[in-house]
Amino acid sequence: MPKRKTNRRQDGIYERTDSPYYWASYIEASGKRVRRSTGIAKSVEGRREAEALLSKWRLEAHMERQWDEQPSRTFDELMLAYLEELEGMMRNTERHIWSLKNLYPRFTGRDLNQLTPGDIRQYIVDRRKAGASNGTINREIGLVSAALNHARKEWDWAVPNPCEKRRLREPEGRVRWITRREADVLLEAARDHERPGYLADFIALALNTGCRRGELLGLEWSRVDLQARLIHLEAEHTKTRRRRSVPLNEAARQAILSRLRFRMRYCADTPWVFCNQKGRRIADIKKTWATVCRKAGLDDFRVHDMRHTCAAWLVTSGVPLAEVRDLLGHSTIAMTERYAHLAPENVRSAVARLDEKQELETKRPRHGRGR
């Protein structure tokens, strides 16, 4: 992988080609070099502001080294630096922005050293009163906790983390799936809705590979190997940031071939598997999806539920959970175990062994004690 090009000085303000802001490089109180975003946009005036901010950071580092005086760190400074440093490396950016919209009214301007577990508890109480689910609250508190831990580990900030051990209990994950007959009806509704269209191919591929919506809509032809019947997903394409290859069964292969015919007819130069006639990538399918589901008579069936459906079909067909985990790209087996109840035969066979043991105990001759 080529190195990121920067106009970087050893110590001072510099620019990064992948960021709209000035970045600073300096020595922290611990003696460790720190490179962080200033959050100040590139311009002549911005350069002067960035230099002034760097001077402030250097002074704080000097005071901490000489007199062990800890600088004041604010919530705003933390979140800006954290999100900017990890820009391009984090997924779910929209979710983080949404979380910050709820966090900022409560914590903006707050000194991190003054934040207490009581502040976090009250935030949780207020968010619950506002109707937020435990999962939503966990994501919001988790974002703050991750930022604080990053600052402590990478920037040597001496700040507490009052978010630790505040995770709320969440209900078991949703498992909504459809039968093969319902899937056929859904595919037919998609074909009737659009001719030629992409949605039927998208549905067929999702149901037969278990890939996420973003993994499919962002799929490029360079990562499709029809000869080997594989889709290659690199770390930057997956939610878990782990590379994996997804095999194509015949139904999935036919969906890819359908996309290939579409490409050759309308937009031979497009890099995207799912695109319109001008070769532009399909970014969203919400409206079309809702229409097709309504025509197919499917209630409360989301795009992500096709991933659940693929998993359910695999498990009910006797595929071991570990193999399902690898195909879907789950980070842990615990995520796959939500489908375990769909394979009751595994449990039934285990319980049957108790009967076998009981029969052996019954048939075994018993020897009385001698007098």
Which ranges of the chain does DSSP label H, i.e. alpha helix? 44-67, 75-85, 93-107, 117-129, 134-154, 180-193, 199-209, 213-217, 250-266, 286-296, 305-316, 321-328, 333-336, 344-363
Pairing of strands 21-27, 12-16: antiparallel
38 neighbors 13 (Cβ within 8 angstroms): yes
Looking at residue 91, the DSSP 8-state letter turns out to be: S
Q: Residue 339: its pLDDT value, please?
A: 75
52 Cβ contact partners less than 8 Å away, ≥ 6 residues apart: none
- How far is CA 242 from each of CA 234, 290, 306, 332, 351, rounded to the nearest angstrom? 7, 31, 21, 12, 37
Structure tokens at 226: 């029809």
Instruction: List the pLDDT tens digit at each of the 371 positions of the chain.
Output: 444 444 445 678 988 887 788 888 888 767 778 787 887 888 888 888 888 888 887 877 777 666 655 667 889 889 988 887 776 555 556 778 888 899 989 998 888 988 999 999 999 999 999 999 998 999 999 999 999 999 988 888 888 999 998 888 877 666 788 999 999 999 999 998 876 679 999 999 999 999 999 899 999 999 999 999 999 988 777 776 778 889 999 999 999 999 999 999 999 999 999 999 999 999 889 889 999 999 999 998 999 999 889 988 888 888 888 888 888 887 777 777 777 777 655 545 555 556 655 555 566 665 555 44
Q: Residue 2: its pLDDT value, please?
A: 46
CATH topology of domain 73-168: DNA polymerase; domain 1 (1.10.150)
- How far is CA 114 from each of CA 74, 111, 194, rounded to the nearest angstrom? 9, 5, 58
141 neighbors 127 (Cβ within 8 angstroms): no
The answer to whether the peptide bond before residue 196 is cis (omega within 30 degrees of 0) is yes
Q: Residue 1: its pLDDT value, please?
A: 43
Nearest to 155 by CA among 301, 26, 288, 3: 26
Q: Residue 361: its pLDDT value, please?
A: 58
Torsion of CA 263, 269, 271, 273, to 10 degrees: 0
**Amino acid letter, 328:** L
The SS3 of residue 251 is helix
Q: State the CATH class of domain 180-344.
A: mainly alpha
**Euclidean distance between CA atoms 51 and 273, whole angstroms:** 46
What is the strand order of the sheet 224-225 is part of? 224-225, 230-233, 244-247
Give the number of residues written for the chain.
371
∠ CA 300-301-304, nearest 5°, is 130
Neighbouring C-alpha atoms within 13 Å toward the C-beta of 273: 26
In the chain, where are the structural domains located?
A: 1-71, 73-168, 180-344
Q: Residue 11: its pLDDT value, please?
A: 75
Nearest to 41 by CA among 15, 2, 63, 59: 15
What is the pTM assigned to this prediction? 0.60
273 Cβ contact partners less than 8 Å away, ≥ 6 residues apart: 216, 219, 220, 221, 224, 256, 259
Q: Residue 4: its pLDDT value, please?
A: 45
Which ranges of 91-197 does DSSP label H, i.e. alpha helix? 93-107, 117-129, 134-154, 180-193
Angle between helices 286-296 and 199-209 (to 10 degrees): 80
